[in-house]
C-alpha cells in the first residue's frame, strides 16, 4: 500500500516542475519538426512536384500549343530514341561530365594545396582562387565568350603574336574545340568549390603525420601520393561527386557559349531537353529526355557514396 501511494506522487511533482521550466524550445521533437519543415516544404514544392510532373509529362502529348493532357504511353520515348541527336547528347553529357570531373578534382587538389600553403600575400591568391566561384555564371560566361570569340579573341591574339598559330581559331565553331571550350569553362567554374572541399580535408590531416613522413625521408611526391592523397580520398570523392552532379545536370555553359552547336556537338541532355521541350514546344519529349538524367545521377551518387563509406570503414 505504502509502495503504491508513494510511487506516483513524486512523479507528478517532477512532471509539474518540468512543465513550469521547459518551454517549447526545450522539446527536441518539436524543435526537430520546426527546423526541418522549411526544407521539407522546399524540397516537396520545388523538387518533388516538378519531378512527378516530369514523369507525367513524359507519358503525355502535352505541347506548349496544346496543354491538354492525354496519355500516350511510351510514344515519346520511342521518338527520342529514334532521333540520333538524343544519343549524341547522351554521349556528350557523359564526356562533358567525366572530363570536367577529372579536371575539377585535379585542379581542385592543386589549388587546395595553394590555399593551405603559408606564404607572403596568400590572402590575395586566396581571393583570386575563389573569384570564379563567386562571379555570377552569366557574367563570367560572357567574358569567356569574348575570350573565345572568332575574331576578337585575346587568346588567339596572344597565340598569334607568339607565332604558335597563323590564323584565328574558331574555338566555338568546330566540334572538337567547342567541346574543349565548354569543358574548360565548366572546369574553371567549379574548381574553386572542389578546392575548398579538398582544403577542408587537407587541414584535417594531423600535422604530426606530415612531419613524420618528412623525418622518414619521404620527398614531396611520396608524401603527396602515399600520405596526403590517401588520407584525403573521402573528401576528394565528395568533391568529385559535387563536380559530377553539378556538371551532369547543368546546361548553363553550353547554352550560353554554343547553344548546343555546332550541329549538336555540345548538346547535353539538359540543354537538349530544354531545346526540345521549351523552345521546340514538345513538352512531352522534353520531359522524357530530362528523365534520363535521373537514373544516371542516382547511380553515380550511390556509387560514389558507397565508395566513400567503404574507405571510411577501412
Partner 1 sequence: MNTVEVKGLVKTFDGHVRARRGRSDQVRALDGVDLAAEPGEYLVLLGPSGCGKTTLLRTIAGLEQPTEGEVLIGGNVVNGLPPRVRQIAMVFQSYALYPHKTVRDNIVFPLRAEGMAREEREKKATWAAELLEIEPLLRRKPRQLSGGERQRVALARALVRDPAVFLLDEPLSNLDAKMRATARDELKRFQERVGTTTIYVTHDQAEAMGLGDRIAVLEHGRVRQVGTPQEVYDDPSDTFVATFIGSPPMNLVKRDGVLVGFRPEHLLPVENVVTEPRLTMPFQVERMEYLSGDRHVYGTITGIGAQTRVIARLPATVATPLEAGETHAFAVPSERLRFFDAESGNRTAPVPIADAAIGDAPPGDAP
Residues that bind partner 1 (CB under 8 A): 206, 208-209, 211-219, 222, 226-227, 230-231, 314
Give 83 or 210: the residue with its C-beta nearer to partner 1. 210
Using the Cα atoms of residue 191, residue 194, residue 198 and residue 199 in order, give the sign of their dihedral.
positive
> Min. distance of Cβ 218 from partner 1 in angstroms?
5
- 43-to-37, 39, 40, 134, 296 alpha-carbon distances in Å: 10, 6, 5, 25, 20
> Min. distance of Cβ 112 from partner 1 in angstroms?
19
Give 136 or 219: the residue with its C-beta nearer to partner 1. 219
ω into residue 262 within 30 of 0, thus cis? Answer: yes
CB 93 within 8 A of CB 111: no
Number of alpha carbons in the 13 Å side-chain half-sphere of residue 204: 14
> Min. distance of Cβ 219 from partner 1 in angstroms?
7
> Which string of b and e fits 127-152 if b means at least 16 CB within 10 Å?
eebbebbeeeeeebbeebbebbbeee
Round to whole Å and give the CA distance between 58 and 289.
Answer: 8
Give 70 or 226: the residue with its C-beta nearer to partner 1. 226
> Min. distance of Cβ 233 from partner 1 in angstroms?
8
> Min. distance of Cβ 207 from partner 1 in angstroms?
9
Give 17 or 230: the residue with its C-beta nearer to partner 1. 230
Q: What is the DSSP letter of 59?
A: T
Three-class secondary structure of residue 1 per DSSP: coil
Give 155 or 218: the residue with its C-beta nearer to partner 1. 218
Round to whole Å and give the CA distance between 258 and 179.
Answer: 9
Q: What residues contact residue 12 under an 8 Å CB cut-off, 6+ apart?
A: none
> Min. distance of Cβ 228 from partner 1 in angstroms?
11
> Min. distance of Cβ 217 from partner 1 in angstroms?
4
Give 18 or 222: the residue with its C-beta nearer to partner 1. 222
Give 222 or 306: the residue with its C-beta nearer to partner 1. 222
Amino acid at each position: 500500500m505504502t509502495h503504491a501511494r508513494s510511487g506516483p506522487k513524486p512523479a507528478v511533482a517532477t512532471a509539474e516542475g518540468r512543465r513550469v521550466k521547459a518551454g517549447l524550445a526545450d522539446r527536441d521533437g518539436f524543435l526537430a519538426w520546426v527546423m526541418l519543415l522549411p526544407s521539407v516544404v522546399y524540397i516537396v514544392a520545388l523538387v518533388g512536384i516538378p519531378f512527378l510532373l516530369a514523369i507525367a509529362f513524359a507519358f503525355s502529348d502535352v505541347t506548349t500549343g496544346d496543354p491538354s493532357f492525354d496519355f500516350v504511353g511510351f510514344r515519346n520515348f520511342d521518338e527520342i530514341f529514334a532521333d540520333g541527336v538524343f544519343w549524341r547528347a547522351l554521349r556528350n553529357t557523359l564526356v562533358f561530365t567525366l572530363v570536367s570531373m577529372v579536371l575539377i578534382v585535379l585542379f581542385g587538389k592543386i589549388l587546395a594545396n595553394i590555399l593551405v600553403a603559408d606564404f607572403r600575400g596568400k590572402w590575395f591568391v586566396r581571393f583570386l582562387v575563389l573569384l570564379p566561384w563567386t562571379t555570377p555564371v552569366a557574367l563570367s560566361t560572357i567574358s569567356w565568350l569574348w575570350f573565345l570569340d572568332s575574331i576578337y579573341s585575346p587568346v588567339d591574339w596572344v597565340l598569334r603574336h607568339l607565332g604558335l598559330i597563323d590564323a584565328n581559331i574558331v574555338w566555338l565553331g568546330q566540334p572538337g574545340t567547342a567541346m574543349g571550350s565548354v569543358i574548360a569553362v565548366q572546369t574553371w567554374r567549379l574548381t574553386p568549390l572542389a578546392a575548398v572541399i579538398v582544403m577542408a580535408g587537407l587541414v584535417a590531416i594531423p600535422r604530426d603525420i606530415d612531419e613524420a613522413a618528412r623525418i622518414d625521408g619521404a620527398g614531396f611526391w611520396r608524401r603527396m601520393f602515399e600520405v596526403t592523397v590517401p588520407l584525403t580520398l573521402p573528401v576528394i570523392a565528395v568533391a568529385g561527386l559535387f563536380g559530377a552532379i553539378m556538371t551532369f545536370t547543368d546546361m548553363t555553359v553550353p547554352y550560353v557559349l554554343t547553344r548546343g552547336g555546332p550541329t549538336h556537338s555540345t548538346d547535353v541532355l539538359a540543354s537538349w531537353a530544354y531545346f526540345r521541350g521549351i523552345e521546340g514546344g514538345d513538352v512531352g519529349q522534353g520531359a522524357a529526355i530530362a528523365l534520363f538524367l535521373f537514373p544516371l545521377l542516382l547511380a553515380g551518387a550511390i556509387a560514389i557514396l558507397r565508395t566513400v563509406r567503404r574507405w571510411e570503414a577501412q
